Structure 1
C-alpha cells in the first residue's frame, strides 16, 4: 500500500508540473516513431511527443525554485533499477557471443586505416565516451570529424533506439553503422569486413563457437549480434540504484535536495525511469531557439517535418563523467548544460543555487564501471592474407586491380 501511495504522489507531482507548464495546449503533429525493434519495455514513456511548454516562475530574476520537500515516493519514478544485462529475444546473450563481441569491440583491423575500433570513440575505461575529443566530435578515418558528439555506450542497450537521431533500432544494428561510415571507420562494404575477419584464424574459431550450427557463421549480422551481446552487459549500477531500491542513506541530504530541485524544475518531464532519459525524442530549443542550431536531427532520417530538430533524449546516468554535452558536443561544463536546458527547453532562468543543487544530484548518478568485464582481451593474430592498413585511394586501387 505504501508503494501505491508513493506512485500516486509521483503521478500527481508530474501531472502538476505538466499542467503548470501549459499541459492543456494542443499537441504538435506527432513525430515519427522509433524503429520497430525496441528493448524490453521500461518505466519511461516511449512516445516522442514533446512535453508541454514551460514558463519561468521568475524569468527575469533567476530566483530559486520553490522548494519541494524530498519524499521517498519520488524514487518510484525511476524504477526499475538498471539490470545486469538488457535482454532481448532477438539476440540471446551467451558467454561465447560476449567473448567474441569483446574482441570485436577492441578490433581496429575492421577499420580501413586499422587505427580505429569501437573503443577509440567509446572508451570503456572513460565511461564510454571519446577522451580524445577536442573539437566536440570524434576524429575518424584520415583525420575527418563527424558532425555529432559520441554518446556513451554504457546503458545504451536499454534505450528506445540508437544514435542521436534514432536511426538504429538496437545496439546490434548500431554496431554495424560506424564500420561502414566513410567518416568513421570507412570500410567500403560489409563484404570487405567479412573478408578481413575470415583471414584471421582466431576469429574463424570464435564465430563458430558463438554461432554454433551455422554453416557460415561469419556474417555482418552476426558481427552486430556479437558486439551487441557484449554491449548488453555494459551497465553501471551505483549508489543511485541502491537509493531507488530503498536505501535512503545511499544519497546525502544535499543529493536528495538536488533530486527535489531536479523534479520541481521540470527536468523529470523527459529524464525519468530506469535510465533518466533515453526513452523519447525531444525538440532542441523547445521554448527558446537553440544557439547556432543547424543539425535537423531525426528529420534527416524520416523527412517528417515534425521531426525537425528532434533528438533522442540522452540518459543522465554517468552524466558527470561524459562531457562534452548535447548532440553537438558544444558544452563541456555540466552546470552550463543544466542552465541551458532550463532556459531553452523549459523557459526558466535558474539561480546559481538551483544549478548547483541539480549538479550535486547529477553527480550522484555516476555508477560503477565493470572493470573486469571490459578488460581488453588478446586479439587473434592476423593470417597471411589479412589486409594491411589502407587509405581510400589505395583501397579503390586494390579493388580496381582485383576486378581487372
Structure 2
C-alpha cells in the first residue's frame, strides 16, 4: 500500500513538472505569431486558371534557353522547394553563385533572394529566366515570342488573364508563377503548438525551443516563419570566413550593408541543406553550431545542439499534395 502511494505521488510530481514546463513555454509562443494553415486550390474559375497556368510555367523547361531548366529544377515542389545542391546548375553547366533558397513559404518573406533584390515572388520569378548563368533567356521579348510559338499557351493565358490584351506578356508570366507560389504553405507540428496544443512537442523538442529562445536565436529568427522578415549581418560577433560575397552591399553600395543578408526562414530547415548563402554547412547540427559561434558568440554543448535540432525538426511540414503535384501535361 505504501509503495502504491509513493508511486502515485511520484506520478503526480511528474505531472506537475510537465504542466510547469508547458506553462513556461506559453509566454514565448507569442513571439512566433499565428500558426500556418494549409492552403487549397482556389474555387473561382479565373483564379484557378491563373494558378494552373503558374503551375505549368513553374515546371516549364522551355522557359530556358536550351529547354533543359525550369523553376522546379532548383526549387522542386516535391523536395521542400530546393534541389539539395550546394550551388544549382544553370545554363551551360554554370554553377550559381549562391545556394538556392527554398520556394516554400517564400511569398511571406520581406523580400526575395538572399540580398532582397526582388520585393515579391512575382518579381523574383522573372529574374532567373533572364539570368545568364541560370535559365539564360536573352530577353523578356524572347520569352514572350517563345511562349507565343507554343500554340496551347494562348488559351491558358487568356483564361488566366481575361482582361489583359495581349494576355501573353512577361509580367503576366511572373504574375502566374507568383500566384502558384502563394499557395506554398507548409504547416507542421510546431503549428499545433502555436494553436495551443502544448503536447505537440516532446520534452526534448521543448528543451530545444527553450534554448532557441533564451539563447537569442529568436532575435533574428522570429515570427511564424522563424525568419524571412529582416536583414542581418552574417558574422555579427565573429567574422564570417567567406567574405567574397558581401550580400546586400552589391545591391545598395552602402558600407553599412556589407555582409548583410536576408535572414532565412527556418521552416523545413531539416530538409533544405546545404545551409547558408554559400552552402558551407552540410549538416543541420553543424549549422546550429556555426550560427551560435558567429552570431551569438557562444559555444553550445552537444546536448544543447541536439535539443535545438530536435526543435527545428518540428518545423518540417508538407505542401498540400494537390499543389505540389507536377502538371499533368504541357501545351504542345
TM-score, normalised to structure 2, is 0.90
Q: Which runs of 5+ in 1 are unaligned?
A: 1-66, 87-92, 383-404
Residue 103 of structure 1 corresponds to: 56
- 1:74 and 2:24 are equivalent in the alignment: no
Q: Secondary structure at the match of 2:321?
A: coil
The answer as to whether partners of 1:175 and 1:224 remain within 8 angstroms in 2 is yes
Q: Higher helix fraction: Structure 1 or Structure 2?
A: 2
| The one of 135, 141, 155 aligned to 1:205 | 155
The answer as to whether partners of 1:240 and 1:364 remain within 8 angstroms in 2 is yes
- 1:216 and 2:216 are equivalent in the alignment: no
Give the whole-Å Cα distance in 1 for the aligned partners of 2:309 and 2:242: 25
Residue 19 of structure 1 corresponds to: none
The answer as to whether partners of 1:107 and 1:379 remain within 8 angstroms in 2 is no
Q: Secondary structure at the match of 1:124?
A: coil
The answer as to whether partners of 1:127 and 1:318 remain within 8 angstroms in 2 is yes
Task: State the 1:304 CA deviation.
Answer: 1.0
| The one of 77, 80, 88 aligned to 1:124 | 77
CA gap 1:309/1:74 in 2 versus in 1, 3 angstroms = same
Residue 143 of structure 1 corresponds to: 93
Give the whole-Å Cα distance in 2 for the aligned partners of 1:83 and 1:217: 32
Q: Which runs of 5+ in 2 are unaligned?
A: 1-20, 41-45
Residue 307 of structure 1 corresponds to: 257
The answer as to whether partners of 2:39 and 2:320 remain within 8 angstroms in 1 is no
- 1:164 and 2:108 are equivalent in the alignment: no
Residue 332 of structure 1 corresponds to: 282
CA gap 1:85/1:301 in 2 versus in 1, 3 angstroms = farther
The answer as to whether partners of 1:202 and 1:381 remain within 8 angstroms in 2 is yes
The answer as to whether partners of 1:68 and 1:261 remain within 8 angstroms in 2 is no
Give the whole-Å Cα distance in 2 for the aligned partners of 1:265 and 1:69: 19
Residue 227 of structure 2 corresponds to: 277
The answer as to whether partners of 1:201 and 1:380 remain within 8 angstroms in 2 is no
The answer as to whether partners of 2:38 and 2:320 remain within 8 angstroms in 1 is no
CA RMSD of aligned residues (A): 1.7
The answer as to whether partners of 1:261 and 1:354 remain within 8 angstroms in 2 is yes
Task: State the 1:251 CA deviation.
Answer: 1.1
CA gap 1:244/1:69 in 2 versus in 1, 3 angstroms = closer
- 1:288 and 2:288 are equivalent in the alignment: no
Task: State the 1:84 CA deviation.
Answer: 4.3
| The one of 329, 341, 349 aligned to 2:291 | 341
Give the whole-Å Cα distance in 1 for the aligned partners of 2:23 and 2:217: 16
Task: State the 1:85 CA deviation.
Answer: 5.3
Give the whole-Å Cα distance in 1 for the aligned partners of 2:24 and 2:83: 36
Task: State the 1:293 CA deviation.
Answer: 2.3
Residue 328 of structure 2 corresponds to: 378
Task: State the 1:358 CA deviation.
Answer: 0.5
Residue 129 of structure 2 corresponds to: 179
Task: State the 1:74 CA deviation.
Answer: 1.3
Residue 368 of structure 1 corresponds to: 318
TM-score, normalised to structure 1, is 0.74
